[in-house]
C-alpha cells in the first residue's frame, strides 16, 4: 500500500489543463521514441508542469487540478543533437552494420520531485509503474543519457547502478558524480572546471578590474569555485566587493532574492562574476532579466540560460555579458540538419508540432493533433529568434553527440569481441546484458577525451580549452554568442590567454574604463 501511494504522488497526468485556447498545444506526453535494434534512453528537461491557482486534486493529496505546461524550447537542441548523431551512425556502413539505433526520450522536470517517475517508466514500460515490475513493451536500451543538471543525474544514477546500467551525463562536470564508490556505472562527457577560476582572473586583469562582485550557488560546486577564485584573485591583487550565496530554491519572486538583488544593484562593483548551472541560478537569472540591469558586466560560466521576460523592451540585462564555454569543434553539418527538421519528417516527436503552431501559425486537426497544410512556406527551426532557439550546436549538444558516438563504438567493439570468442549462426540476433558494455564504454570515452586533450575517470581530468563568448542581445531577441577570445592551460606551455577587445559589445549603460593594455593581446 505504501508503494502504491508513493508512486501515485510521483505520477503527474500526461494530459494537462490549458491556459490557452488550443488544447493540442498544451497536451503533451512525457515520452516519445523511434524503434531500432538498439535504443538509447535519454532524459531531457523539455517541459515543466506548474499550477496557476492551486486547485486541489480530487483523488491524490498534494496534487492540483489546474496543471499547466511550459515548454523549454532551448533545450530541444538536446533532442536534435541526439537524433543527428544517431542518423549519422545509422548511415555509416562500417559502424554497427545491419544494426539500427533508435531512441527513447523522456521528459524530466526541473524540480527533483518527479524525476524517479520517468526512470521507472523507462524501466517498466508502463504508465503507473510499481517497484521490481519489468513488463510492457520491450526495447533493448543498453545505456541511459542524462543531464544537464547534476542533481537529476545523481537521482537517476542511484537507481541505474542497482541494475549496473551504464549512464552517460552531458552536463557540467561534477566531482560528486565522479565518485566511483557512489556512482560506479556513471561516465561524464564534460571536462573539469579546475582552471576556470584562473581563466576568469586573466580576463579581469586584461581590463584592470580589481573591484568585483561574486555570486555563487549554495552547493558543493559553489564552495569549490569560491575557494579557487579567492586564492587566484588574492594572488593577483583583485578584491571581492561582495559575495552572495544563492539558494537554488529561490525563484525570481523570492523575498530573499529581492533583498540580495537590491544590494547587488546598489553595489559600487560594476563587474560581477556569476558561477552556476542552469538549475542552481535560474531564479537569479530571471530576476536580473526582469530588473533590466544594463550598467553592469556579468561574467558567466558556460552552463547558463535565462527565460527572459524582457522581449517587449529594447534593452536587455545580459547584453554585453562575457561567457566562458568549453571549446568544441564547429558542427556545420548539424546546422544543415536543423534546417531539414519538421513535424512531418519525425511524426513520433510530439514537441515539433508545438514549435510549428506557436512560431509558424500552423493549425492542428480536430481529431489527432496533427498539423494541417496551412503553415508558412519554408518554415524551419533556424528561422526562429536566437533567444528562443539557436541552431548552432552548443556545449551540451556537443557532449550528447560525442556520448552517442561513444555508445555506438562501444557496442561495435563488444560485438566484434563476441564474434571472435563466441561465433553465432548467421542472422542470429546478438544478445548481451547492459552491464557487459561497461569496460568498452569506459575505454571508448577515455580515448575520446584524450583525443580532445582531456582525460576523465578516476579523478584524472585535465582541462579543455575555453572559448570566451560575448553575448549580443541588443536589440532584445538578437541572442548571439560571439567568440572574442580563448583560454587554455597545458603542462608544457602553461596558461595561454587571448582576447580581442574590438569585437566586444558592452552593456548599454556600462562605462568602460580605459587601460594601458593594447586592445588585442596575448598573455602567456
**Are residues 304 and 325 in contact, defined by beta-carbon separation less than 8 angstroms?**
no
The cell numbers describing 463, all together, are 582541462
Strands 167-169 and 520-523, by their bridges, are unpaired
In a domain, 517, yes or no: no
At 324, phi and psi to the nearest 5? Answer: -95, 125
Look at strands 31-34 and 101-107 and give their pairing. antiparallel
Query: Which conformational region is residue 264 in: left (phi greater than 0), alpha (psi within -120 to 50 degrees), or beta?
Result: alpha
| C-alpha cell, 479 | 541572442
- Same domain (yes/no): 63, 167: yes
Residues 183 and 87 occupy one common structural domain: yes
Whichever domain contains 151, its CATH number is 3.40.50.2300
**All cell numbers assigned to 421:** 570468442
**Do residues 114 and 221 share a domain?**
no
Counting Cα atoms < 13 Å in the Cβ hemisphere of 164 gives: 8
Q: Which of 377, 396, 415 is the last residue of a domain?
A: 396
Domain contains 403: no
* Contact between residue 213 and residue 271 where contact means Cβ atoms under 8 Å apart: yes
Domain-terminating residue out of 366, 396, 426? 396
Q: Are 470 and 481 in contact (CB under 8 A)?
A: yes
Verify that 212 and 183 share a domain, yes or no: no
pLDDT in tens, 224-277: 899 999 999 999 999 999 998 887 666 545 666 666 777 788 888 999 999 987
pLDDT computed for residue 8 by the predictor? 38
> Residue 95: CB partners within 8 Å, gap ≥ 6?
89, 408, 409, 412
107 in the same domain as 91: yes
The answer on 121 and 65 residing in a single domain is yes
Determine the structural domain holding residue 475 and report its residue range: 196-329+461-503
CA trace torsion 342, 347, 350, 354 (10° rounding): 40
What is the total count of domains within the chain? 2
3-state secondary structure of 511: coil
CA 148 to chain centre: 4
**What's the count of helices (H) and strands (E) in the chain, helices before strands?**
13, 17
Instruction: Say what the pLDDT of residue 247 is.
Output: 78
Checking 89-94 for CB contacts under 8 A at 24+ apart, the result is 89/404, 89/405, 89/408
CA distance 120 to 43: 12
Tell whether 401 is covered by a domain: no
What is the rounded CA–CA span in Å between residue 444 and residue 81? Answer: 19
- Helices 220-235 and 196-206, interaxial angle, to 10°? 40
* Domain-located, residue 311: yes
Q: Is 430 inside a domain boundary?
A: no
Q: What is the DSSP string of 171-211?
A: SS--TTTT-TTT-TTEEE-SPP-TTHHHHHHHHHHHTT--E
The three-state secondary structure class of 239 is strand
Q: What is the pLDDT of residue 439?
A: 94
Same domain, 94 and 237: no
E strands, 275-408, are 297-300, 322-326
Task: Spell out the per-residue pLDDT of the chain, length 524, in tens.
Answer: 333 333 333 333 333 333 345 788 877 788 899 999 999 999 999 988 777 777 777 776 667 777 778 888 889 999 999 999 999 999 999 999 989 999 999 998 766 667 788 888 888 776 655 555 555 445 568 999 998 988 889 999 999 999 999 999 999 899 899 998 899 999 999 888 878 999 999 999 999 999 999 998 888 888 989 999 999 999 999 999 999 888 766 654 566 666 677 778 888 899 999 998 766 777 777 777 777 777 889 999 865 665 444 444 445 788 889 999 998 888 999 999 999 999 989 999 999 998 898 888 888 877 778 777 788 888 999 988 877 888 999 999 999 999 999 999 999 999 888 887 776 545 556 677 899 999 999 999 888 765 554 434 333 444 568 999 998 877 766 778 899 999 988 766 778 899 999 999 998 878 765 333 334 444 43
**255/222 same-domain check:** yes
Q: Do 205 and 180 share a structural domain?
A: no
Please check whether residue 74 lies inside any domain of the structure.
yes
Q: What is the pTM of this model?
A: 0.85
Q: How far is residue 123's CA from residue 468's CA, in Å, rounded to a whole number?
A: 41
Supply the pLDDT for residue 246: 82
Sign of CA dihedral 289, 290, 291, 294: positive
- Of 488, 521, 490, which is closest to residue 208 (Cα–Cα)? 521
Same domain, 201 and 269: yes
Q: Enumerate the β-bridge partners of residue 146.
A: 43, 169
For residues 310 and 292, give the distance between their C-alpha atoms in angstroms, rounded to a whole number.
8
Instruction: Determine which helix (DSSP H) or strand (DSSP E) holds 245, and give its type and residue range.
Output: strand 239-246
Q: How many residues does the chain have?
A: 524
Would you call the peptide bond into 148 cis, given omega within 30 degrees of 0 as the criterion?
Answer: yes
> Alpha-carbon distance 347 to 415, whole Å?
32
Tell me the three cell numbers of residue 341. Answer: 527538421
What CA–CA distance (Å, rounded) separates 97 from 93?
Answer: 5
Q: DSSP class of residue 92? A: -
Boundary-marking domain end, from 381, 396, 411 = 396
- From CA 144, how far away is CA 183, in angstroms rounded? 14
What one-character DSSP code corresponds to residue 439? H
Instruction: List the grid coordinates of 396.
Output: 551540451
Return the HEC string of 121-182: HHHHCCCCCCCCCCCCCCCCCCEEEECCCHHHHHHHHHHHCCCCCCEEECCCCCCCCCCCCC
- Return the C-alpha cell found at 384: 526562429
Report pLDDT for 199: 93
Strand order in the sheet with 186-188: 31-34, 101-107, 38-44, 143-146, 167-169, 186-188
**SS3 for 357?**
helix
Task: Report pLDDT for 304.
Answer: 63
Q: Is residue 364 part of a domain?
A: yes
Residue 46 lies in a domain: yes
Paired with 520 in beta bridges are: 500
Rounded Cα gap, residues 402 and 173, in angstroms: 15
37 and 171 together in one domain: yes
Q: What is the DSSP letter of 380?
A: -
C-alpha distances (whole Å) from 211 to each of 2, 151, 196, 293, 457 are 56, 33, 19, 18, 38
Q: Are residues 350 and 467 in the same domain?
A: no
Amino acid at each position: 500500500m505504501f508503494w502504491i501511494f508513493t508512486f501515485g504522488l510521483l505520477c503527474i497526468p500526461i494530459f494537462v489543463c490549458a491556459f490557452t485556447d488550443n488544447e493540442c498545444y498544451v497536451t503533451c506526453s512525457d515520452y516519445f521514441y523511434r524503434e531500432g535494434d538498439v535504443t538509447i534512453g535519454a532524459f531531457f528537461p523539455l517541459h515543466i508542469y506548474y499550477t496557476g491557482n492551486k486547485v486541489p486534486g480530487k483523488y491524490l493529496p498534494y496534487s492540483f487540478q489546474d496543471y499547466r505546461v511550459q515548454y523549454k524550447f532551448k533545450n530541444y537542441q538536446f533532442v536534435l543533437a541526439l537524433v543527428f548523431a544517431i542518423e549519422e551512425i545509422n548511415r555509416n556502413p562500417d559502424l554497427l552494420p545491419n544494426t539500427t539505433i533508435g531512441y527513447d526520450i523522456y521528459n524530466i522536470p526541473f524540480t527533483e520531485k518527479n524525476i524517479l517517475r520517468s526512470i521507472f517508466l523507462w524501466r517498466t514500460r508502463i504508465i503507473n509503474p510499481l517497484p521490481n515490475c519489468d513488463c510492457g513493451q520491450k526495447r533493448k536500451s543498453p545505456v541511459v543519457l542524462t543531464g544537464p543538471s547534476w542533481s537529476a543525474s545523481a537521482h537517476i544514477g542511484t537507481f541505474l547502478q542497482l541494475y549496473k546500467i551504464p549512464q552517460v551525463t552531458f552536463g557540467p562536470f561534477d566531482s560528486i558524480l565522479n565518485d566511483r564508490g557512489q556512482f560506479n556505472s556513471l561516465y561524464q562527457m564534460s571536462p573539469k572546471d579546475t582552471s576556470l577560476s584562473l581563466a576568469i582572473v586573466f580576463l579581469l586583469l586584461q581590463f584592470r578590474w580589481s573591484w568585483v562582485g561574486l555570486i555563487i550557488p549554495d552547493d558543493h560546486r559553489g564552495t569549490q569555485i569560491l575557494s579557487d577564485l579567492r586564492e587566484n584573485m588574492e594572488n593577483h591583487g583583485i578584491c571581492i566587493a561582495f559575495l552572495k550565496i544563492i539558494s537554488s530554491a529561490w525563484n525570481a519572486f523570492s523575498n530573499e532574492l529581492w533583498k540580495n538583488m537590491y544590494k547587488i544593484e546598489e553595489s559600487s562593483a560594476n563587474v560581477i562574476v556569476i558561477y552556476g548551472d542552469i538549475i542552481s541560478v535560474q531564479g537569479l537569472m530571471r530576476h536580473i532579466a526582469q530588473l533590466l540591469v544594463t550598467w553592469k558586466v556579468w561574467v558567466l560560466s558556460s552552463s547558463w540560460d535565462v527565460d527572459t521576460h524582457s522581449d517587449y523592451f529594447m534593452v536587455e540585462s545580459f547584453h554585453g555579458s562575457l561567457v566562458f564555454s568549453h571549446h568544441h569543434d564547429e558542427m556545420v553539418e548539424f546546422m544543415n540538419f536543423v534546417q531539414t527538421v519538421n513535424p512531418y519528417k519525425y511524426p513520433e516527436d510530439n514537441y515539433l508540432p508545438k514549435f510549428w503552431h506557436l512560431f509558424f501559425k500552423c493549425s492542428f486537426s480536430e481529431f489527432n493533433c496533427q498539423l494541417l497544410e496551412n503553415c508558412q512556406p519554408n518554415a524551419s527551426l533556424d528561422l526562429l529568434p536566437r533567444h528562443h532557439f539557436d541552431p548552432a550546436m552548443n556545449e551540451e549538444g556537443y557532449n550528447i553527440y560525442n556520448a552517442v558516438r561513444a555508445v555506438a563504438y562501444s557496442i561495435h567493439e563488444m560485438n566484434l569481441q563476441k564474434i571472435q570468442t563466441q561465433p553465432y549462426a548467421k542472422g542470429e540476433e546478438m544478445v548481451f546484458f547492459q552491464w557487459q558494455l561497461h569496460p568498452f564504454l569506459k575505454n571508448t570515452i577515455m580515448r575520446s577525451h584524450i583525443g580532445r586533450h582531456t582525460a576523465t575517470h578516476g579523478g584524472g581530468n585535465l582541462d579543455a580549452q575555453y572559448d570566451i563568448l560575448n553575448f549580443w542581445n541588443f536589440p532584445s531577441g538578437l541572442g548571439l554568442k560571439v567568440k572574442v577570445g580563448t583560454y587554455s592551460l597545458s603542462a608544457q606551455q602553461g596558461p595561454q590567454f587571448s582576447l580581442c577587445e574590438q569585437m566586444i559589445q558592452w552593456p548599454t549603460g556600462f562605462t568602460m574604463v580605459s587601460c594601458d593594455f593594447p586592445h588585442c593581446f596575448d598573455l602567456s
